[in-house]
Amino acid sequence: MKRMLSLLCLGVVGHAASAQDSARVLRDVEYAVVDAISLKLDLYLPDAPDLPTLIVWVHGGAWRSGSKDRVAIEDMLQRGFAIASVDYRLTPVAPFPANVHDIKAAIRFLRARADHFGYRKEPFVIAGASAGGHLAALVGVSNGHAALEGTVGEYKDQSSDIAAIVSFYGAGNLTTILKQSTPHGLGVRVPALQLLLGGSPEELPAKAKLASPVFHADASDPPLILIHGDQDPQMPINQSHELHGVYKRLGLPVHFEVVYGGGHGGAPFFDRERLDLVHDFLRKHLD
């Protein structure tokens, strides 16, 4: 009863459609303020007998658009997970690494408030799609990195550690992405990278490396599942191949699921088969 009253005070908006029918949803929970910008997240708590494991969801949108409002993995609620969908500063407002600083601040906030909201403080999963998949992987393999940790938020004593990563068609290496891109992909990625980095990867190689998960992965990193379409016209599948290869060389737990005929997103990536695969992978490595 006490927990329910707390949730009501924080703004539960009732029941949404589909997988959210049995979830309590808290909208627009402020996790930090930076440069007078209120950073917010939405929290989905399943109606389950046990404290759920939390998935931090990072939306896509070429780093420059998108919002927390759409959660492509909402069906994970039916599998007993809680989800925190996080907004972060987009590149027209602040370039990299502001987005990573914000996401890590959200993780620290969520860990500090775990008992209050009602999910497990450990372990945390991070997942994202497209640009969100890139950011999820980067956050997941860079715990404690001074340049990426940032100082956003009030809970700097908390860890931003992640126990598993789920990347749907995300970037792994910004130093090679343009060479791998189709003409259509270049039309999307060139301006997006200009906003993200403040210039091209060739002009800013050190910053491009800092923003690339493949250069941060080491033997201490969490299990990783990659899901990518072999016909993706926007995010080359070689981006996932590169990160998969690094994980294999390090002997880390990793699964690479190719969606044959799959493009850049869409229903096949988030259907029952793929989310069952994600569920089984997470349970295997978290339990």
CATH code of 249's domain: 3.40.50.1820
Within a 10 A sphere around the Cβ of 18, how many other Cβ atoms? 9
pLDDT for residue 183: 86
Backbone angles phi, psi at 6, to 5 degrees: -60, -45
The domain in which residue 121 lies consists of 2-286
Per-residue pLDDT tens digits for 227-276: 999 999 999 999 999 999 999 999 999 999 999 999 999 999 999 999 99
CA-based nearest residue to 72, from 7, 145, 168, 153: 168
State which amino acid sits at residue 60.
G
107 and 56 Cβ atoms separated by less than 8 Å: yes
CA angle 158, 105, 68 (to 5 degrees): 135
Structure tokens at 131: 């640009």
pLDDT for residue 19: 60
pLDDT for residue 263: 95
Measured between alpha carbons, how far is 10 from 245 in angstroms, rounded to an integer?
44
CB contact set of 10 (below 8 Å; sequence gap of 6+): 26, 29
169 and 226 Cβ atoms separated by less than 8 Å: no
CB contact set of 61 (below 8 Å; sequence gap of 6+): 67, 90, 130, 131, 132
- Into how many domains does the chain fold? 1
Per residue, the 3-state secondary structure of the chain, as one string, reads CHHHHHHHHCCECCCCCHHHHHEEEEEEEEEEEECCEEEEEEEEEECCCCCCCEEEEECCCCCCCCCCCCCCCHHHHHHCCEEEEECCCCCCCCCCCHHHHHHHHHHHHHHHCHHHHCCCCCCEEEEEECHHHHHHHHHHCCCCCHHHHCCCCCCCCCCCCCCEEEEECCCCCCCCHHHHCCHHHHHHHHHHHHHHHCCCCCCCHHHHHHCCHHHCCCCCCCCEEEEEECCCCCCCCHHHHHHHHHHHHHCCCEEEEEECCCCCCCHHHCCHHHHHHHHHHHHHHHC
Which residue ranges of the chain lie beneath pLDDT 50? 1-17
CA-based nearest residue to 211, from 171, 259, 267: 171
